[in-house]
Amino acid sequence: MTGGGWFTELEPIHAVWGGSWGRVRFRYRCMATAPLVEKGIERAIEAIKGVRSVRAKGRIRSLAVEFDTELTDVYTLSEQILALVPPEHSPLPCRPRERRRGWGTTLLSSAAVLASFKLSPAILFPLSAVTAAPVMVKAAGDLFTRGLSSHVLEATAVAISLARHDFLAANATAFLLAVGEQLEETIARRSDTLLKDLMHPTDNEIWVERDGVEVLVDSREVETGDTVIVATGKVIPVDGTVLSGVALVNEATMTGESVAVTRRRGDTALSGTLVEEGRIAIYAEQVGSRAAASRIADFVEQALTAKSDTQLQTARLADGLVPMVVGLSGATWLLARDWERVAAVLQADYSCALKLATPVAFKAAMYRAGGSGMLVKGADALERLAAADTFVFDKTGTLSSGLLEVTDSITFDASYTAEDLINLAASVEEHYFHPMAIAVVRASERLAHPQHFNHQEVEFIVAHGVASDIDGKRIVVGSRHFLKDHEGIDTTPHEALFEDLMRQGKTLLYIGFGGQLLGVIALQDTLRENSAATIATLRQLGVQEVIMLTGDHRERAQATATTLGLDDFRAELLPEEKAEVLNELAAQGKKIAFVGDGINDAPALSGAHVGLAMHHGAEFARLAADITLLEDDIERVADAKRLALATERLIHSNFHLTVGLNSTILLAAAAGLLSPVTTSVLHNGSTILTLLRALAGPARSSRTGATVKTPHKVERA
């Protein structure tokens, strides 16, 4: 079979069946520009309905798939695999990986070093030639494919030592090169391992409530809208909202917070986090590959392969410095006529440290970002964030919480207090899963005297509100249209008050009791408590301008901008106008970081120099963004900027350290102050030092400052 997506050809070559399961082996071919990341292929195919397990072997283009015969068959499976689309973010070409050398070469060269003190030259020459062979082979490969490289310089130094019958220098150099290469590979792999630690696999089977019964289903069968049950000791498999129950959840894997948090009705549940105690039912919003833990795995694959501009520039610089070392070695021979000095000069170069330190530093920083509640989709995202000088914020859900809070409770009956009104509404609203209902229930829980009123069965009227009976009287909670037109309750005596509250940007919830208007509850999307502090921190980090974009009325936007101390704001914007504002700012030469959360923010997120999406943002926004916050805390925006700047400083520092140390070693070798062996020790030692420094990453910056929650306002008319 042929296709035009990720795979161009897919041929089943062997299949077996065992009752309810089957296993098929495919031979495949992928597009020339498509990624061949084995784990990525496996995860993509595992998401197909009916697939139990997948094993991909890129080297031999083999794909083994085990599947449930009751859910799919070989033909259907083949069609679905051919229809897969490769992930846009993966830059890996369709080729097998390079094999890494083991420690065998290192052990052989170490034995040769010891033999240099005891064996005769007649035996040492062939032994040293065998020891130097791996160095020569790698150099020959580089010479014919890439031209002059650090490996060519090293091989030339070893060859000079062999020609001079300085077997100790030749063998010691080969040994130090092997040890250095092994340590460099180990450090580079360690940075990959750090990022892979961000992946959090979940159980293959999940408890789901269907038709009032809890059933154990395959994780691939869970769909958006399912009620997922998670108990003590289990990892939460989906992103969603807690419907019922209370649990102590350890979210350290996703947010970096070491202290477990309580999660109850209305709270967010993150995939990849562990329920330490309790039991909760979760409304599944993001499942499978769309859940946070799976998205992290995808972004990790990208992070392990993507190259930033800085990395590419340092690699080009390292390659460009090789001819300079060759020139210095030639000048040394012309001036001193000393082959030992020439060999010493050829031992030191800039290539390894410059090429490896930058990606290791980026990966270490991205790992720390993931552990601190920030998902960075590539080294270039950190690089662009460090360069950003203008931050543009969307208002709703970004500078504001996006969650409604009760601000006013006003009664029109002296028999009931403002607290009574909230408690009455909460008693019937607690059964309704809606942002306004959740806000009223939370307001009741925070009252000095929360009270639950017994009521009859609650009636839900779609897009209008809820109704029930308390003490034989009908209670209705909902919109003015619901009370006035459907329940016949007169609201006109208080129209002026309602209009005033709405001019303040508040949403109103009307409560009717016994056929009369009992009162009104006002709710408002409030500013985040740490929005002002975050903006102040950004200014301290060198951000020149902070701007807010919103669709709100100009008066409310003006008040928000004044409260937060913003440089500018644009109000009453349509979605497409936000992107136009960014284009206007970019035309002025500003490097813009845009922070948003809604579907309408996706164009702006994509068009900005760097885009950051809030945790509760729409899926389109999270996909369009370069950096996604894993927890609902705007302070993470400042943390991301701080980390980007610290990483940039570390990379520049490592660059200057590498150039300084290796230049000193080169000049000392050219002056005859260092032997080839000493030069090799110093060069490899300085490279390992630089890589270890890069792996350690930028230091964590502690965040200070406390916030105080302001209780909602309760008043009585």
- What is the Cα 31 distance to its own chain's centre? 27
Count of C-beta atoms within a 10 Å radius of residue 458: 17
pLDDT of residue 391: 96
How far is it, in rounded angstroms, from Cα 553 to Cα 504?
Answer: 10
pLDDT band at 193; cut points 50, 70, 90: low
Instruction: Name the β-bridge partners of 249.
Output: 261, 275
And the tokens for 513?
Answer: 């009791």
CA atoms within 13 A on the CB side of 474: 11
pLDDT tens digit sequence for 642-668: 999 999 999 889 888 988 998 899 899
pLDDT of residue 668: 92
Mean pLDDT is lowest, of 583-592, 599-608, 658-667, 669-678, for 599-608
Task: Examine the pLDDT at 536 and tell me if it is beyond 90.
Answer: yes
The mean pLDDT value for 501-526 works out to 88
Nearest Cα to Cα of residue 235 among 257, 256, 209, 207: 207
Count of C-beta atoms within a 10 Å radius of residue 618: 18
For residue 64, what is the enclosing H or E element?
strand 62-68
Task: Examine the pLDDT at 140 and tell me if it is beyond 70.
Answer: yes
Mean pLDDT is lowest, of 70-74, 574-578, 649-653, 697-701, for 697-701
How far is it, in rounded angstroms, from Cα 361 to Cα 691?
Answer: 8
pLDDT band at 77; cut points 50, 70, 90: confident
pLDDT band at 594; cut points 50, 70, 90: very high
List of E strands, 194-345: 205-210, 213-218, 227-231, 239-250, 261-263, 268-269, 274-286
For residue 322, what is the enclosing H or E element?
helix 309-336
Task: Write down the architecture of domain 205-234+238-286 according to CATH.
Answer: Distorted Sandwich (2.70)
How far is it, in rounded angstroms, from Cα 408 to Cα 504?
Answer: 12
Residues annotated as catalytic are: 394
Instruction: Name the β-bridge partners of 527.
Output: 400
Q: Which CATH number fits domain 7-82: 2.10.109.10, 3.30.70.100, 3.40.1160.10, 3.40.50.12140?
A: 3.30.70.100
Nearest Cα to Cα of residue 325 among 552, 149, 459, 97: 149
The mean pLDDT value for 615-625 works out to 63
In order, the DSSP letters of 569-620 are EE-S--HHHHHHHHHHHHHTT--EEEEE-SGGGHHHHHHSSEEEE-TT--HH
Task: Examine the pLDDT at 510 and tell me if it is beyond 90.
Answer: yes
How far is it, in rounded angstroms, from Cα 411 to Cα 429?
Answer: 18
Instruction: Name the β-bridge partners of 549.
Output: 394, 570
State the pairing for strand pair 268-269/374-376. unpaired
Mean pLDDT is lowest, of 166-175, 285-294, 489-498, for 285-294
Mean pLDDT is lowest, of 87-91, 167-171, 438-442, 567-571, for 87-91
Nearest Cα to Cα of residue 408 among 419, 424, 395: 419
pLDDT of residue 90: 40
Q: Are 456 and 441 in contact (CB under 8 A)?
A: no
Task: Examine the pLDDT at 97 and tell me if it is beyond 80.
Answer: no
pLDDT of residue 259: 54
Q: What is the largest CA-CA distance in the chain?
A: 113
Count of C-beta atoms within a 10 Å radius of residue 60: 8
Instruction: Name the β-bridge partners of 284.
Output: 240
| Positions of CATH 2.70.150.10 in the chain | 205-234+238-286
The mean pLDDT value for 464-479 works out to 90
What percentage of the chain carries pLDDT values higher than 70?
Answer: 77
The mean pLDDT value for 567-592 works out to 86
Mean pLDDT is lowest, of 17-31, 96-110, 595-609, 622-636, for 96-110
Task: Examine the pLDDT at 345 and tell me if it is beyond 60.
Answer: yes
Q: How many helices (H) and strands (E) does the chain have?
A: 23, 24
pLDDT band at 95; cut points 50, 70, 90: very low
What percentage of the chain carries pLDDT values higher than 90?
Answer: 19
pLDDT tens digit sequence for 662-692: 889 989 988 989 988 888 788 778 878 887 8
Q: Are 12 and 92 in contact (CB under 8 A)?
A: no
Q: Are 217 and 205 in contact (CB under 8 A)?
A: yes
pLDDT band at 420; cut points 50, 70, 90: very high
How far is it, in rounded angstroms, from Cα 565 to Cα 120?
Answer: 81
Q: What is the mean pLDDT of the chain?
A: 78
How far is it, in rounded angstroms, from Cα 404 to Cα 460?
Answer: 21
pLDDT of residue 89: 42
**Bigger pLDDT: 390 vs 104:** 390
And the tokens for 129?
Answer: 């030639």
pLDDT of residue 281: 92
The mean pLDDT value for 435-464 works out to 86
How far is it, in rounded angstroms, from Cα 307 to Cα 517?
Answer: 64
Buried b / exposed e over 639-669, threshold 16 CB at 10 Å, is bbbbbbbbbbebbebbbebbeebbeebbebb
pLDDT of residue 539: 95
| Positions of CATH 3.30.70.100 in the chain | 7-82
Task: Examine the pLDDT at 304 and tell me if it is beyond 60.
Answer: no
pLDDT tens digit sequence for 37-55: 666 777 778 778 778 888 8
Mean pLDDT is lowest, of 25-34, 111-120, 585-594, for 25-34
